Amino acid sequence: MIDRYQPQMLRIAMLYTPSRAIAEEVVQETWLGVITGLPGFEGRSSLKTWIFRILTNVAKTRGQREHRSVPFSSLGDPEPEGPSVDPARFLPADHERWPNQWSSPPSAWDEVPESRFLALETLQHVERAIARLPDAQREVVTMRDVNGWSSAEVCNVLGITETNQRVLLHRGRTKVRRALEEYFDKGVTPT
């Protein structure tokens, strides 16, 4: 189990803590909690969900202690940032032929050479884009797209609704896609 879950646990702990060293301590503390709590495991959720719920609780507590304060914006409320996609990319509602359709559609990535798409540089841009996401979006995108978790697992571990999870995932993915579009279309490092 350690070999299977340790890398994912470390990535998730790093979402809440200010350093890798503290995240590693959180993972160790989580394993101790799992070992001592195993007799009380009732099986109401999967073992994986139970372990990661312990992890997020330990990581949140430790992260709060380390940061000494939590900004209000990180509590999961949607940030007043406007629409996910720039409205200028759509045709006006009164357009004769295609109202509200894309005027500037997303780039077709099938024309990007595979070697460039898989290049380390591209992956670094994706990692940086994910790291810049607001906390709640970063948590959901990391769990769903990096770790490959199901929607139900993310909702159970983070204690959020399915609707909230979908909104956070959509907003996070949109920001990452926007950063990649800038990288592919303009050759500009996303900011």
> pTM for this structure?
0.58
Q: State residue 66's pLDDT score.
A: 75
**Residue 5 burial class via C-beta count within 10 angstroms: exposed 0-12, middle 13-18, buried 19 and up:** buried
CATH number of the domain encompassing residue 165: 1.10.10.10
Q: Per-residue pLDDT tens for 18-38?
A: 888 888 999 999 999 999 999
Same domain, yes or no, for 54 and 115?
no
Q: State residue 129's pLDDT score.
A: 92
Q: Which domain holds residue 47?
A: 2-70
Q: Per-residue pLDDT tens for 44-101?
A: 888 999 999 999 999 988 887 876 544 444 455 455 566 666 777 778 888 888 777 7
139 vs 19, more confident: 139
What Cα–Cα distance (Å) separates residue 153 from each residue in 92, 133, 138? 39, 21, 16
Count of structural domains within the chain: 2
Q: State residue 121's pLDDT score.
A: 78
Same domain, yes or no, for 59 and 88?
no
Say how far apart CA 63 and CA 56 lie, in whole Å. 10
Say how far apart CA 82 and CA 66 lie, in whole Å. 32
Q: State residue 70's pLDDT score.
A: 46
Q: State residue 187's pLDDT score.
A: 56
